[in-house]
Chain A
Amino acid sequence: MSALLPDGFAALEPFVVRWAVSGTAARAARRGASSAEEREAFYGAAKDMLLPALAYLDGKNLAEFDAADNRLMDMMLSLAHVALAVEGLGNDEPRHAEMRRHMRITRSPAGV
């Protein structure tokens, strides 16, 4: 049985289901549909893992990522969205999510 995430990142496993989302628009939508508790729990667990995760992933070619690597990458990309809510908008996030819905992401190097 293979692990959900690469070695060293097991602490993030509880967040895989919700935050290992493929596609920039889908990640933005997941943030928009999440609760404050979900965002804070994920941000709290993941923020100190960001640099180690990127350092680990930078050691590989994107095309050579296995399923666990892809999950970790997608989670860090979700963290980019979630951090904006947690660090920036705070309790303004729900109102903001409604405004943001109108800004449709149509292109992203990471795939829409």
Chain B
Amino acid sequence: MNNIASSTAPGFTPVSADSVAWLGTGPVPAAPYYDPAYYELEREAVFRHSWLQLGHVSELPEPGSFIRREVEVLKASVLLVRGRDGHIRAFHNVCTHRGTQLVEAESGRAGNFSCPYHRWSFSTDGRLLSAPDFESFGLTKEECALPAIALEICGGLIFVNFEPKISLREEMGPFADWLEKFPCAQATQFSEYVYEINGNWKLTYDNFQENYHLRFIHPRTGGAAVSDENPFGYPVKYGFHGPHRTQTIWSNPNVKPTPLQAISFGKGAQFAMADGLAGPHARDYLALFPNFFVIGTPTQSFSHTIWPLGPERSRGVIRLYWKGEDDCASRRYAREYALASARDIHAEDRAVIEAGQRGLSSGALKYIHFQTQEALCRHLFNNVNERVEAYKAELAGGAA
């Protein structure tokens, strides 16, 4: 076993406390991680104005392809549709007559969308096409188009924003170019697993932006991430742009894979190289505010979106991105192994996050603590809290 105390072996230098001191160093209030009132504020202050990752372009392969996505935190149902012109658009899944949810299917392909209630019918680009006895309303069809939601695509990923204050690309700055070079930008399909958790969305998310827990929670599955020179498997560097952040994952030179792990990841790596997936961000993790991150590794590139369902409840959606069909047995095998091994690790995280939530929800703590190597967690809190405070001030101003 590694000796934690003698962590001064050469070959790895952790990010210094000084370089992230601008984020603050003090304790962080605990209530935002369980308090229902704080959650209500976050819904408006954070989620209503943020770019939210809802899908991947491969889910909408042809004109008329659609998917329905529920965004519980905003009580919204969103319809993503590829129009006849090839463009992908987002609409509220709401009939403009009297509000009935237009589409029930989770996904599919349609020439138009017809409301079950009184048969108003909408085109794939949101226009009202026809409505029975429409003359009796005294309305124009233009007034009755489906309510659109702002949508941008970056790196093959579909983002929507219910009330944007800034464009996605502007907000991402240099990270937009990064994302375009991640494997998801070239992906044509993905594997997915989903979990629900008794955990606040920030507490859940934070687990995946610190490595401090690796050696304790993933002693067997995460062995490759730690060694004598870097006993906690801390990242090589952190980066920030506005509310977004990155870390560069440390490469352990002394990994000893198990026999089938070597074969399986070896095959995955061969395919990734042949497919041209080894980009400049192979060791980079990119976290887009508020609830999405993606890893650039060519062999097991995955994204993770954490959807708030309530102050103490969330849903995680994990996707591993693949370029091309399963064109042979080896490729199919390598993808199965990659999925199963990632899922093994994430299963361990889920259990310990729930334990954290139980403690926080008891109200026993006024504060929690982040060390230097939990800087990304602090950065998330700072950005959420800044928005919540501004929104509270706005409400107070409006009430005055």
Q: Are B335 and A99 in contact (CB under 8 A)?
A: no
Query: Interface digits, B180-222 against A, CB 8 Å rule (1 contact, 0 not)?
Result: 0000000001111111110000000000000000000000110
Q: How large is the interface on A (under 10, 10 to 19, 20 to 34, 35 or more residues)?
A: 35 or more
B-binding segment of A7-15, A34-42, A101-109: A101-109
Given contacts A81-B340, A89-B344, A102-B350, contact A109 B220 (CB under 8 A): no
Q: Are A92 and B220 in contact (CB under 8 A)?
A: yes
A109 vs B189: C-alpha distance when bound (angstroms): 7
A27, A51, A54: which has the most chain B beta carbons within 10 Å? Answer: A54
A24 vs B190: C-alpha distance when bound (angstroms): 13
Q: Are A62 and B191 in contact (CB under 8 A)?
A: no
A66 vs B305: C-alpha distance when bound (angstroms): 39
> B220 to chain A: which residues have CB within 8 Å?
88-90, 92
Q: How far is the CB of A9 from chain B (nearest CB, A)?
A: 13
Q: Are B329 and A73 in contact (CB under 8 A)?
A: yes
Asked if A18 is at the interface of the complex by the 8 Å CB criterion, the answer is: no
Query: Interface digits, A47-78 against B, CB 8 Å rule (1 contact, 0 not)?
Result: 10011011001101010000000000100110
Q: Are B192 and A106 in contact (CB under 8 A)?
A: yes
Asked if B120 is at the interface of the complex by the 8 Å CB criterion, the answer is: no
A50 vs B333: C-alpha distance when bound (angstroms): 10
Q: How far is the CB of B207 from chain A (nearest CB, A)?
A: 14
Given contacts A80-B340, A89-B220, A100-B343, contact A62 B327 (CB under 8 A): yes
Asked if B70 is at the interface of the complex by the 8 Å CB criterion, the answer is: no
Q: Are B343 and A103 in contact (CB under 8 A)?
A: yes
A contact patch SS = helix
> A96 to chain B: which residues have CB within 8 Å?
344, 347-348
> B348 to chain A: which residues have CB within 8 Å?
96, 99
A27 vs B333: C-alpha distance when bound (angstroms): 13
Which of A47, A53, A80 contacts B336, CB < 8 Å? Answer: A80
A102 vs B196: C-alpha distance when bound (angstroms): 7
Given contacts A50-B263, A87-B258, A87-B261, contact A62 B329 (CB under 8 A): yes
Q: How far is the CB of B326 from chain A (nearest CB, A)?
A: 5
> B332 to chain A: which residues have CB within 8 Å?
62, 73, 77, 109-110
Given contacts A47-B259, A88-B220, A90-B220, contact A100 B344 (CB under 8 A): yes
Q: Are B261 and A105 in contact (CB under 8 A)?
A: no
CB contact list, B107-136 vs A, under 8 A: none
> B260 to chain A: which residues have CB within 8 Å?
47, 50, 79-80, 83, 87
Residue pairs across A and B with Cβ atoms less than 8 A apart, 13 shown, are A24-B339, A77-B336, A80-B260, A80-B337, A81-B336, A83-B261, A89-B221, A106-B192, A107-B190, A107-B192, A108-B336, A109-B322, A110-B336
A-B pairs, 10 with minimum CB distance = A57-B329, A107-B192, A87-B258, A83-B260, A80-B337, A100-B347, A99-B347, A80-B336, A77-B336, A109-B326
